[in-house]
Amino acid sequence: MSTILTTIVTPNGKVFEGHVQMVSVRAKSGDMGVLPNHMPLVAPLEISAVKLKTEEKDEYVAVSGGFIEVRRDSVTILTESAERKEDIDVARAERAKEEAEARLAELGEGSPEYEAAKNDLKRAENRLRVASLK
């Protein structure tokens, strides 16, 4: 079966690199499954899970948004932060979630800090969701 060379890159380095059968992402425009020979494109991503299907298993990576670039034989995901499911520190994400919720309760809706806290909450909830995926 043909595969796609897939790389997930952050400012801190590569989080994933490997040949996969399918990459599933949540783009801003909706869910997208990328198979070999997909049409080339660039699309912004939601704070979400990336699923990497290989012959042996499915791998999951939490990404904090960013972009996917699809070429004929490769996929690159560029994002500010990304963690493989196994590397997610659940206690840290729970702490971040509680802190963000506390800030949201204090801040007025519409302020820049409120939007920042909402994003922090989304990242923490996404990490918790990815860590719990089977």
Closest residue by Cα to residue 83 from 124, 44, 119: 124
**26 touching ligand ATP, by CB under 6 A:** no
User: Running DSSP on this structure, what letter comes out for residue 55?
Assistant: S
Chosen residue from 19, 58, 81, 129 binding ligand ATP by CB under 6 A? 81
Instruction: Report H helices in 13-131.
Output: 90-106, 112-131
Structure tokens at 83: 């963690």
**92 touching ligand ATP, by CB under 6 A:** yes
How many CB atoms neighbour CB 128 within 10 A? 16
**125 touching ligand ATP, by CB under 6 A:** no
Contact flags string 46-65 toward ligand ATP, x per CB under 6 A: ------------------x-
- Note the residues at the interface with ligand ATP (CB under 6 A): 12, 64, 81, 83, 87-89, 92-93, 96, 120, 123, 127
